[in-house]
Structure 1
């Protein structure tokens, strides 16, 4: 596999009107973050994944996943309190009657 910071993501990542196309773009974006945000565990993990992919030649999808997890770390999916519909009111099979 190819190595290096010039490798492109399969699908560019859009952040605040800019596109992160290569590993180098993503690394520069992370390094430009404020220090407090840069030190968050999610960004540290994303940085580590980025370095591993760039230097070891792993799949760029690993770095992409790390970046997307860090970007979406404050997103909390809406909880569906109903969950699955209950089975109440269904008829029992004839064998169980």
Structure 2
């Protein structure tokens, strides 16, 4: 695939390309390249905190034998 010129020069894609080149040429960590590409792909997604998604685990955990 080919990136359009406008997207090619964004900092997210530049960082992703540098990470990919490091992995290909010098055997760097592939996870860094993956993270860079995923961040570049989702750069327009706004992350919003939703408190209803997960219940907090505050307090002591109760064992089954203590119930």
What's the TM-score, normalizing by structure 1?
0.48
Structure with greater strand share of residues:
1
* Alignment root-mean-square deviation, CA: 1.7
1:70 and 2:37 are equivalent in the alignment: no
Unpaired runs of 5+ in structure 2?
Answer: 52-67
Give the count of matched residue pairs: 52
1:38-87 deviation line (CA, Å, top 9, x unaligned): 11100000000000111010121111111001001111112448xxxxxx
Instruction: Provide the rounded CA distance (Å) in 1 between the counterparts of 2:30 and 2:49.
Output: 32
1:13-55 deviation line (CA, Å, top 9, x unaligned): xxxxxxxxxxxxxxxx3xx010001111000000000001110
Instruction: Provide the rounded CA distance (Å) in 1 between the counterparts of 2:32 and 2:48.
Output: 26
DSSP 3-state at the match of 1:74: coil
Structure with greater helix share of residues:
2
DSSP 3-state at the match of 1:77: coil
Structure whose alpha-carbon radius of gyration is higher: 1
What's the TM-score, normalizing by structure 2?
0.68
